Amino acid sequence: MGKSTPVKQAAVVLGALAFGWMAIEMAFKPLLDKARSAMDNSDPDRDPDDIDSDVKTKDVVEGNKGSPDRKPISYADAVAKNTAGA
């Protein structure tokens, strides 16, 4: 075949990595699509654990059973309430 040069070795390694990546993407496509969709729909500024624990603590102290003002139905509703000044 000929001499193996560092450039040929690098090309073979990069080709093998690209092929491996493509094989993994194709094999786990449904799982990866769901994970990427969930990450796209999530809000990085909102930590659900902090918000839920604050609501539960406040509801226990005030005797409320889940005030609708504290728990917006969706992110869009929360944005609408925030822009409306509620």
pLDDT for the residue numbered 44: 73
Nearest 5°: the CA angle 20, 24, 14 is 20
Domains: count for the chain: 1
What confidence score (pLDDT) does residue 74 get?
A: 78
- Residue 63, domain member (yes or no): no
What's the pLDDT at 47? Answer: 67
C-alpha 29/C-alpha 23 separation (Å) is 10
Residue 19 lies in a domain: yes
Q: Residue 16: which domain range?
A: 1-39
Q: Which residue has the tokens 């491996």?
A: 20
Longest dimension (CA), the chain: 81
**For the chain (length 86 residues), average pLDDT per consecutive 10?**
86 97 94 87 72 52 55 73 73
> What per-residue confidence (pLDDT) applies to 17?
98
Structure tokens at 26: 């194709």
Asked, for residue 17, whether it belongs to a domain, the answer is yes
Asked if the structure places residue 81 within a domain, the reply is no
Cβ-Cβ contacts under 8 Å for 73 (sequence gap 6 or more): none
